[in-house]
Structure formats: C-alpha cells, structure tokens
Copies of this chain bind each other. A is one copy, B any other.
Amino acid sequence: MDFSEKIAHWAKIVNEKLADLVVPKNSPEATIYEAMRYSLLSGGKRLRPVLSFAVNEILGGRQDDIIIYTCALEMIHTYSLIHDDLPAMDNDDYRRGRKTNHKVFGEDIAILAGDALLNYAFEIMLEDIYAHMDSPDLPGRINAARLIAKASGTSGMVGGQVVDLESQGRNISYDILEYMHKCKTGALIKAAVQIPLAINNVTGEYEKALLTYAENLGLAFQIKDDILDIEGNLEEMGKKTGSDSASGKITFTAYFGLDKAKEILKSTVDAAIESIAVFGDKANFLTELAGFIAERRS
C-alpha cells in the first residue's frame, strides 16, 4: 500500500470500530447516541488514529491491542470539537462541511453529547483494562489510559483551550503562544504516539525519537492550521476561515506574519523527519505524514 492507501485503510478501520462502539439504541436516551454518532462518524482526517497505527507498526505491535485507546482518543478529540463550536466558545456553524452538532441537535444536547463522548472514552478504556486484569498486557494499558487522561485535561488540551480563550485580543509572548499550542493541539497528537509506546512497553532511544517527532508534528499541524485560517476557503476546509484573526486570537501568522510562519512550518517538519532517522526505511510513512501535514489544504 502506498501512503494514501495506508491512510485510507487505517481510517476505515477506525471508522468501523467507532461505529461499533457507539451504536444507535432504541432506548429513552436514543438522541444522545445519534448526537454522538453525528460528530464522531463525520469523516474527520483521523490523524491521531493513523499516527497511532503507524507508530504501532514500526514498533511491531498488534493493532487489536491499541484500537480501543486510539478510538478513545478520537472520542476525546471529537468532544473537544463539539464544545469548541458552541456559541459560548467559537460559535461555529460548520465543521467538516456539515452543520455543527448544536446546529442540528440544539445546544443542550450538544453539551451532553460532548460530555458523553469524553465519559465514554474512559468507559471503554476501563472496560478494556478490566477485561485484561490477568494479562501481562495490563500495565501498558493502564499507562496508556493514564497518559490520555493527562493529555486531555488541564495540563493538556483543556489547559490550552483556556489559554487560547484568555489570550484573545491580548498581546502574548511567544512562550505563551507555544505553550498554548503544545497543550491545545499538541497534547492529543503526542498522546497518539504515547499509546503504542505505552502498550508495547517501549522506552529509551526509540521512545525519545518518537516523542520528538510527535511534538514537532503537533507544532507543524497547528502552524499549518493558522496558515489555512488565512489561505484556506470554506469549500475546501468544510468550516469558516478567517475566524481566528477576526476574533483577535493570537496565531503563528499573526505573531510572525505569513511568510515567516511558512518558514517555521518547514523547519518544524524537517525537525520531525530528522528525529525518526533512527528507524531508517521503517519510518517512511511517518516521514510522508509530516510532509502531508504541511501540504494539506484542509
């Protein structure tokens, strides 16, 4: 399989698993499953699961061992998008080319659908941990769930969202800009790499190389996001553009200007690629992925 076939293959696997994990039910709370599925199965890029699968392959891990954790991470990513889009937050009407969750189900259900996805992420991980109580794989699974919790909470994604909100319309230092993105987008992207590392119990040189890759990939992803907010368009992006600058958010492009931001993007991608040289040809997919992140148009 070439690069795009591999992405499509892995995205399909995770899409099918997510659809299996959140099934429509004919119970009094049926709406919540509908609302969860609406956003969860709306065909995102699945960058985080693809990253987990790619790293897992390099480490020689079994896909079945990590899939619950990478689906949990995708649920957490999705909950954060639902809550981010709310009128009280970014107030976005479109996401991935479709109406946002609260536009379809109402704000109240959208808040609960986000809550439900976050909760369910931990529910499926804890069920998996419970099911592996007597297995030698138990410690790695517990560690993966623990790292995901840290990445999505106040010292990770939620913390970054708070800094983002509070920085709007203010002059912030580059340190704060970097800290915000490390938390807001970077933490979950890093967690995608931490999952296979934890479950395959990999430490040392390989761990260090892959975590450096993940950090640079996360940073590149965010710089590119900021560039797309200026250069992208609704049709390709599936969401409104220009909204970050309009709301006075500090972005890489606002901070450095477009040209300098593109330069930093390039050097960040180079740093990501360089960090995984230790894996030789086995890292080809990750190398292409870093380029793909920088070149993407949505």
Contact = CB atoms under 8 A, between A and B. Distances in A.
Copies of this chain, how many?
2
A191 to B, nearest CB: 13
A146 interface: yes
A192 interface: no
A143 B130 contact: yes
B28 A153 contact: no
Contacts of A79: 115
B109 A158 contact: no
A133 B145 CA distance: 13
Contact of A149 (B83, B89, B122, B138): B122
Nearest to A32: B162
Contact of A29 (B120, B122, B130, B162): B162
Nearest to A90: B108
A143 B127 CA distance: 9
Nearest to A114: B115
A146 B129 CA distance: 9
A230 to B, nearest CB: 24
A161 interface: yes
Contact of A162 (B88, B112, B142, B161): B112
A126 B149 contact: yes
Interface stretch (A12-20, A175-183, A219-227): A175-183
A154 interface: yes
Contacts of A161: 112
A89 B109 CA distance: 9
A126 B28 CA distance: 31
Contacts of A166: 28, 31
A115 B162 contact: no
B116 A118 contact: no
B152 A119 contact: yes
Interface of A: 27-29, 31-33, 36, 79, 83, 86-89, 106-109, 111-112, 114-116, 118-120, 122-123, 126-127, 129-130, 133, 138-139, 142-143, 145-146, 149-150, 152-154, 158-163, 165-166, 176, 179-180, 183
